[in-house]
Amino acid sequence: MYYRLKLRQFMFLYKHDRTISFLISKYLDSGIESVNSGDFWLTLKFKNGSTLVTWNANKYYAWLKRGELYNPRGLVYQWQSARPSPKVMYKLKSAIEAFFKAVN
């Protein structure tokens, strides 16, 4: 419920893509193995061997606007000018914060 109060205040620039939401949510369920971030890109490796490489700037109005999802066999999905749902954005943000709390 908290994500609704915070993320719905933002104006998103890009349309919601249900496929992105489904895939990110599915991979997050396996757990995060590692997180690497640069100035504009975020790379997450999941415990099931999958990888998410996504745009990590302009939170939240254009956050995750472009990216690629890989499984151990190769590219699964690639997007640009689209985004996951606010619920999945909040789930991803919470999972990254929990990962860093566990590591530190």
| Structural domain harbouring 77 | 11-92
pLDDT of residue 6: 56
Q: Is 41 within the bounds of a domain?
A: yes
Q: Is 82 within the bounds of a domain?
A: yes
Residue 68: closest CA among 94, 43, 92: 43
Q: Interhelix angle for 18-28 vs 86-103, to 10°?
A: 30
pLDDT of residue 39: 86
Domain count within the chain? 1
| Contact yes or no for 34/46 (Cβ under 8 A) | no
pLDDT of residue 2: 45
Q: Is 5 within the bounds of a domain?
A: no
Q: Is 1 within the bounds of a domain?
A: no
Joined tokens for residue 84:
């996951």
pLDDT of residue 42: 93
pLDDT digits (tens), the chain, 104 positions? 444 445 555 667 788 899 999 999 999 999 999 999 888 999 999 999 999 999 888 776 788 899 999 999 999 999 999 999 888 998 999 999 999 999 87
Please, where are the H alpha helices in 16-82?
A: 18-28
Task: Classify 59 as helix, strand or coil.
Answer: coil
The alpha carbon torsion through 5, 2, 7, 82 (nearest 10 deg) reads -140
